[in-house]
Every structure is written in C-alpha cells, then in structure tokens.
Structure 1
Amino acid sequence: MHLKFYEVLNLLSIAWLLFFSAYLYVTNRGNKHSNFFLASLLLTNALFNLFPLVKNFIVINYSQFIFFLYLAASTGFLFGPFIYFYTKSLTNKDFKLTLNLITHFLPYSISLFYFYFESYIKFLQPYYLTILYSHIFIYIYFSYKNLIQFNRHIKNQFSETYKFHLNRLFIILLVFSALWILDIFLIVQRYFEILPLEYQSLIIYTLFIINLLFAIFIVFDSLSHPELLSISLSKYHTEKYKSSTLNDADKQYYINKLESIMKNGEPYLNANLNIKELSDISEIPVRILSQIINESIGMNFYDYINSHRIEHSKNLLKSKSEKNILEILYDSGFNTKSAFNSAFKKFTKMTPSEFRKNN
C-alpha cells in the first residue's frame, strides 16, 4: 500500500495528538479540568483526521466507507464544546464539570442518530456542513470573547500580565480558526472550482502541515510549561460603581492621596504589584481604588501602573546613565522587554532607543 505525502503528514500529526492526549488524561500536573478538555480536544482532532485514512488500511466498499465519513463529520461537533470548555477552565478557577455541560453535546448525538439513516443524509450534506461549520465558529467566537474578557479583567487587577499569559490558548484558537477556514475554502473549491486543481492540492498540504506543526507545538510547549495560572473572574469582577456614594470632593481626595503614594513610595517598582497590594499600601479600599483609577483617571490598573513606570524609565534614559535599556526596564518595574517596549511606545509614541537618542 502506497501512502501519499500528505497522508504521511496526517499520520504523524495523529500519532502526536494521540500520544499527548493520553498523557494529559493521566498526568497530575497542572489544572486537571484544563488537561481533560485539552486532551479531549486533541483526541477529537486526531479521530477527525483518522477516519479519512481508514480506506487505505481496510478493504471496504464505498457504501461501508461512507459511514466512517459520517462518523468523522459527527466528531466535528465535539470541537466547539471542548475548545470552549478548555477556555473556560483556564480563565475561571471556579469552572467545574457539571451535568449541564452534557447539553452541549446534543448536536453530536443528534448527528450520530441521523447518520443511521444514511440514504437520507447524503442529500443533506451541503446543509449539514453549513450547520457543522456554523456550530464550530459559534463556539470559537465565544471562546475568543471569554478570553478577551479575561484579559480585560486581569488588566484591572494586576500591574503585569506575563504570568497570566495564555499564549497557548491564543495559538490553539488561532490554529483551529485557520484550519476550519481553510477547510471551508477547500469545500467551496471542490464544489465551484474557483482555483486551478493544483491549488486544491496545495490547500490540502497546507492543512496537514499546519496540523502537524500544531501537534508538535502543543506537546513541547505543554511539557515545558505545564502550569497555566488561572484566576476566578467572579472573584476579581470589576465593580460598576453604580451604587458608589463618592462625590467629586471625595474623588479628588483619593486621587491626591494615590498620586502622593505613587510619587513618594514608588510602589510601581514592584514588578508583581496588584490592586490589593496597592490598596494596602495606600489605605484606600480596593473598590474605591478601582473606581478612582477607572473613572476619574480614565485608565485600567495595568496601564495606570505602567504609566508611572514609563515616567520612571524616561527619567533614567534622560539621566545619561550608563545602564543599558534592559537594566532600565528592570529598574522601572517591568519583567519583560516586550511589555516594556509596548508600554513605552504606547505612552511616548517612540521606542526607548529613539527616546534616549532624542534626549
């Protein structure tokens, strides 16, 4: 039996995905709920790509093989729930496995039930694919929305976000979005032949190469960074301040008090400063401190602290100090060069090197 190159790529990615999903199911490292959902997501990906290869290993007629294609299509209804639950488990420490989650798997069950009536479902395939892709992208949309909400909340509570970075999750969402967009384009290409036939082969190879690289990335990244910190959104939920009794005089008092603390105490030099610690230092209640920063100053906590760090770094850069930029960013309370450069450009519209050169 001769395998095509893209089928070899597919087999390699399936092997990686099966290996790591098995590892995640049994490991005690990291967040057990996140591990379970990620393992299930990877297993779904492996099975989804495995079914089309069955015809190369088992001698069966077309009518029998079509059942495996339908099973593969049903498996597609598992991608959305698993990627959404994985996102929720990482961004909400209170997220738990409950019976209510079963309702998310009803489309998968219904799909399997209808596949029993093979002769009828064949004619509905275009409509079925539309439902499948819509189902997947609805879950991907809500996963992105949940992640954006999470980032917004941590920026209102913490002065640095590197340890909450969810690069793995961003990459997973991005890769799955790209894979499904390519898959949709491939389906459209097969129906309408928009591009020459050779481009169709290129799309197929691209799909399997991305899937293989994704499988390799997820294994090595997870083994090297097994702990992904998750916090409870409900615990750190931002106040809406509607019931606040602060008048303008009170607000100005707290602003002056806060700015005095920031100027004289320089708490922003603590790279791990969060709003609770600043509340303790300034003796301003967290709720009031959050309101003052968000409403009166017009920033989230992350940007407010970074604005003071940038002012500190600007003074160091203008002082003709022999310290290099890396030393200055650490002395200013930053933990990473990327965070420093991003914040510096945001507040000064230039890079640290350009600022030093001009001053």
Structure 2
Amino acid sequence: MEVEGAWSPYIKNMKIELQSIPHLIASCLFLILATRTLLTIELNKNTNTNKWLASLFLVLALLLFDEFLFLNALIFNNSALWEKLITSLNLTIGPLTYFYAQAMTSNSENRRGYFYLHFLPAFTFFIVSLFISSEMFNNNSSVKVTFSLLFLATLLPYVFKVLADLSTYQQGVKQHFSSFLNHDLSWLKLWAGFMVIMAIIICLSPVAEQFKLLSQLMPDVHYLLIIASVVFLLMPDISKQKSIEDKPLEKQIQDLPGQELTAAFKHIEQLFIEQKSYLNNELTLAELSKLCQLPEVLVSNAINHVGKQCFYDYVNTHRIEEAKRLLIKHRSRSVIDVAMDSGFNAKSTFYNAFKKFVGQSPSEFRKANQNLNDECQA
C-alpha cells in the first residue's frame, strides 16, 4: 500500500502529451530492432557484430523513452541520476556504431585490450556529473558546451571511421560474392548521415539558446531518431547482414607469373561458361574456386588482372549477357522474370548492372533490338 501511495500522485495526474507519442513508438521500434538482432545472433553466428548493433539500438530506445518521460513530466523527470546517465549514453552512439562496422569487416575480437577506452568519455562525463548539482547540470552554459564538444568528439571521428570500414566491406564483398544479399550495409551509410546531422544540431544548440528565433528554428535531434527507427524497420532485416573475412587475396600476386594467371583465367572462363555457374544467384569465390580446383588467391587474381574485373562484376557481366539473350528471344517474358532467370536475385541490382554494362535499361535494350529475333528466325 505504501508503494501504491508513493506512485498515486503520478498515476492520478498522468496526462500523455500528444507530441510525445512518436517518441514512445520510436522507442518501441528500436527495442524491436534490438530484440530481433539478439535473436539472430545464433542463426547467423554474428555474435561479435550483432552484440554491438543490439547495444546501439538499445541505447537509442532509452534516449527516446527518456524524451517521452520528459515531455510528460513523468516519474524519471525528477531523477537526477537517471538524467545524467541518459545524457552520458549519448556519448556511446559513435563508438557502438564504429565497433559494429569494424566487426563486419573482420573476424577479430575488436582488439579487446583497448576497446573500452572508446567509452571513456561517456564514463568520465557520467562520473564528473555526479558531483554537479542538478540545477547546474541543466542550466550552466559551460556544462552544455562541454557536452556538445564531447558529443562532437565522440561522433564525427567515428563517422569517418565507419565510412572507411564501409568502403572496405563493399570491396571485400565484391571480391568474394556475386550478390549483396545478406551483405547490404546501405542502412549504415544512411545512419552515418544521421550522425553528422545529430552532431551539427547538438553543437549548435548552446549557440541557438542565446537567440530566441534561432532556437525555435533548431530541429529536435529526437525527431531524427524517430525517422531512423521507422526507416530501419522498413529496410531489409539489417540484423541478418553477414560479416566478411579480411582475406589478403592480393598478397601473392607478385609471385604469380603472367602466363600462369592467363592459363588460370582461360580454365576458369571455360568451366564458368560451360556449366553456367553465373546462374547461381548466390555464387561465391570459394564455390568457383572449388569448381575450378584452384586456390582462391589464384582465381581472384586471374579475374582481377587478366579479366580486369572484380569477382562481383565478372559474374554479373555474364549474367547480363544471358539477360540480353533472353530479352531478345523471349519478348513476352517480363523483365523481372528475365532478371531472375539470369542469376540476379534483386530487381534493383539487375537494373543497375544492366545500365552499367549495356548503357541502356532492359526495356530500352529490348525495344532497340525488337526486330533482331525475327531476323534470326527468318
């Protein structure tokens, strides 16, 4: 009964502000994303990657839930400890994103000896804030400027690191896989953009508070997170994206004579065309290497240096040639059916590859060659 009495004033006076509902919904969406990520750890064996991703989503869920509580003046609004903890959690967004990106490009354990140092700013800020009064924490301009600078320091550098890891990841995928299925990190590039905007808003906030009009025009960073929660939930399951091994396929190129590479490429090309391996929409470098009974290093270097293409483009070049043949031969078949029959597993990938290698869209190519099949039959 005593506990109920302590809570009763909040329950009786509870009034949910309409503007706070999106924050609560977005918090739940990030919680769903975090839960889904944790549930896929065993399935995809992405233990090291998904633990960082789930932690990031959980932090974002807490930040939005805190804003929901604040807007409604609920119980935690008067808790100084909670407020300081939540503020400090903002400083973990950059490191958590970075460690996820790093784990996706390597099977290493994120250099356990020092990775905790990346969270030192958040920990230090929280400890120092415990010795600051709530009034000073909320109203002192020096505290706000310090937090803004720390937020900038724990966000922007990691954005550049994430983009560098993302570039490495995409290059690695193109060297080992013929499809971006389960290797699509486009959401991460989008999130990096969100991080930049967040950094700008947080850093300008102390300045904006000095000018009433500017303060009114300054967007709330929480609305960015609301948009992100919806976008990420609607995108293909980002928790199922798989990491790649950082294999140094180019390290032995200097030891391979040109004649050996040329002979290997001819052997690869012959088997590749005879068995139409490119029709396998999940073909990997390892599978092609096994088919040709050649080391992955040799297969990769032969394709790169003799074929002048990465593995991804090499396979898709043959798929496009197959698609061109089917577009002319079967004019009544839909473009998407032709794409699937040619070895592609996504319409967008097919259209982008066709435009890249042919210079036309599939429909434009079919229209330009509409009489070719009739001439061949005649």
TM bucket, shorter chain: 0.7 to 0.9
Task: Name the TM-score, length of structure 2 as normaliser.
Answer: 0.76
- Taking the TM superposition and a 5 Å limit, the aligned residue runs for 1:30-69 are 30=43, 31-51=46-66, 53-54=69-70, 56-58=73-75
C-alpha deviation, 1:189, in angstroms: 3.2
Identify if the C-alpha distance between structure 1 residues 76 and 301 changes in structure 2 by more than 3 Å, giving closer, same or farther: same
Change (3 A) 1:241 1:356: same
* Number of corresponding residues: 347
Q: Tell me how far 1:356 sits from its aligned partner.
A: 0.8
Distance in 1 (CA, whole Å) between partners of 2:121 and 2:76 is: 31
- In the alignment, the residues of structure 1 paired with residue 297 and residue 150 of structure 2 have an alpha-carbon distance, to the nearest angstrom, of 45
- Aligned match of 1:228 in 218, 221, 240? 240
Q: What is aligned with 1:8?
A: 21
1:89 deviation in Å?
Answer: 3.7
- 2:144 aligns with one of 114, 117, 125: 125
Q: Measure the CA separation in 2 of the matches of 1:23 and 1:329.
A: 31
CA distance 1:29–1:6, shift in 2 (3 Å): farther
User: 1:348/1:85 Cα in 2 relative to 1: closer, same or farther (>3 Å)?
Assistant: same
Contact 1:293 1:300 in 2 (8 A): yes
Deviates more, 1:335-344 or 1:171-180: 171-180
Contact kept in structure 2, 1:88 and 1:95, CA below 8 Å: no
Which amino acid is 1:57 matched to? L
* Matches of 1:95 and 1:220, distance apart in 2: 30
Q: Which moved more, 1:42-51 or 1:328-337?
A: 42-51
Gaps of 5+ in 1: none
Task: Give 1:332 shift.
Answer: 1.6
| Secondary structure of 1:162's aligned partner | coil
* Percent of paired sites with the same residue: 25
Matches within 5 A, 1:140-155: 140-155=159-174
CA distance 1:127–1:335, change in 2 (3 Å): same
**Do the aligned partners of 1:150 and 1:233 also contact (CA within 8 Å) in 2?**
no
1:112 to 110, 117, 126: 126
RMSD: 3.5
- Residue in 2 that maps onto 1:246: 257
Q: What's the counterpart of residue 212 of structure 1?
A: 226
Whole-angstrom CA distance in 1 between matches of 2:29 and 2:265 = 55
The corresponding residue for 1:299 is 309
Q: Which amino acid aligns with 2:225?
A: N
CA deviation after TM superposition for structure 1 residue 256, in Å: 3.1
Aligned equivalents of 1:186, 1:334: Cα separation in 2: 47
Instruction: Tell me the distance in 2 between the aligned counterparts of 1:26 and 1:314.
Output: 42
Determine if contact 1:24/1:39 at 8 Å carries over to the other structure.
yes
Change (3 A) 1:255 1:166: same
After TM superposition, the score normalised by the length of structure 1 is 0.80
Secondary structure in 1 matching 2:240? coil
* Distance change in 2, residues 1:97/1:8 (3 Å): farther
Measure, in 2, the Cα distance between the counterparts of 1:303 and 1:19: 36
**Amino acid in the other structure paired with 2:74:** F
Aligned to 2:184: 165
- Deviation readout 1:55-94 (Å, 9 max, x if unpaired): 8235988xx85x7654433222211222222333444444
Q: Structure 1 residues 198, 321: CA separation in 2 closer, same or farther (over 3 Å shift)?
A: same
Distance across 2 between alignment mates of 1:281 and 1:28: 31
1:336 aligned residue (346, 356, 361): 346
Bigger drift between 27-36 and 140-149 goes to 27-36
Please state how far the C-alpha of 1:346 moved relative to its aligned partner.
Answer: 0.5
Comparing 45-54 with 324-333, greater Cα deviation is found at 45-54
CA contact (8 A) 1:79 1:136 kept: yes
Query: Unpaired segments of 5 or more residues in structure 2?
Result: 1-12, 370-378
Q: In 1, distance between residues paired with 2:267 and 2:38?
A: 51
Q: 1:73 matched to which residue of 2?
A: 87
Looking at structure 1, the residues matched to 243 and 179 of structure 2 have their Cα atoms a distance apart, in angstroms, of: 14
CA contact (8 A) 2:104 2:242 kept: yes
Aligned to 2:291, the other structure's residue is in SS state helix
1:268 aligns to what? 278
Q: Over residues 271-318 of structure 1, what are the superposed CA-to-partner deviations in whole Å (9 max), with x where a residue is unaligned?
A: 222222222333443212211222232211000111111122222223
Stretch deviating more after TM superposition (115-124 or 281-290) = 115-124
Question: 1 or 2 for the larger relative contact order (CA 8 Å, sep ≥6)?
Answer: 1
SS of equivalent residue, structure 2 residue 255: coil
Alpha-carbon deviations, 1:10-69, whole Å to 9, x = none? 2333344456646766886544444432332223223334556458235988xx85x765
Kindly indicate whether the alpha-carbon contact (under 8 Å) linking 1:262 and 1:268 is maintained by their aligned counterparts in 2.
Answer: yes
